Amino acid sequence: MGKRFTIVLAMLVVAVLVAACSDTPSSFGRAFRGRSLDITVLAMDRVQELRYTNSYGAGSVDHHRLRPSEDGMELVLVRLRVANHTATSHIVDVNAQAAELQDYFQGKYLPVDVMAQGQTWARVAGAWKWEDNDSLTDLLAQTQGADITDPPDWDPGSVRLIEVGTDGTPPGQGFLVGSFKLDRGFSIDGWMVFEVPAGTEFRSLRWRAGDSLTIPF
């Protein structure tokens, strides 16, 4: 894959209590073409809690989770492929305004900042606990150590370990966030996370990063 990650700390999400959407729209798996980009929705999942793990090699691992910000909400994970079909080179800045889920009642939902809203299993005042990411003062020092333990109720079988490095992650196994340089004929593939009222049905996804197009559901 010809891609350049500016953010490598935010790897694949494998959730607890994943519930796949009951009906798969016919638009899933189909590329929708804009002026320069092809956008494909590959999958959509609904979760109550998102857990993921970064693996740094030599057995070094950290643990993260993301929950809805309030009762009555759920997380929706959308896997997307973004391909450059025209331009010699195209910069795609996938930020908080890059995509928008739209429901049937004019509701619009933007991507969640996973690192800002999430929590990390960290050592605080000598004890391991879930800590808000924005409260951490030294991520590496607080999440590593010989005495690290798995969080309570953490099932390694439901969490994928991803090697973090300058080459990013395997296709489809990372968060789609950051700035990417796409040469013609190349693509990126990853997940975006949205927070919506539980049970919300969607009519479309609007893509706005480096191009503008709508994918109907």
Q: In the beta sheet, which residues pair with residue 90? A: 182
- Could you please state the CATH topology (level 3) that the domain comprising 31-117+161-216 is classified under: Immunoglobulin-like (2.60.40)
Closest alpha carbon to 122 in 188, 191, 54: 54
Q: What is the pLDDT along the chain (217 residues), one digit of tens a residue?
A: 443 333 333 334 333 333 334 467 889 999 999 999 999 999 898 888 888 877 666 666 788 889 999 999 999 999 999 999 998 999 999 999 999 999 999 999 999 998 888 898 888 888 888 999 888 887 667 777 666 778 888 876 666 544 444 455 556 668 888 899 999 999 998 899 999 999 999 999 999 999 999 999 9
**198, 103 Cβ separation under 8 angstroms:** no
- pLDDT of res. 34: 94
Q: Residue 173's pLDDT is what?
A: 66
The DSSP-derived string for 77-95 is EEEEEEEESS-SEEEEEE-
Task: Parse the chain into domains and list their residue ranges.
Answer: 31-117+161-216
pTM for the predicted model, two decimal places: 0.79
Please give the pLDDT value at position 23.
Answer: 64
For 179, phi then psi, to 5°, come to -110, 130
What is the rounded distance in angstroms from the CA atom of residue 140 to the CA atom of residue 145? Answer: 9
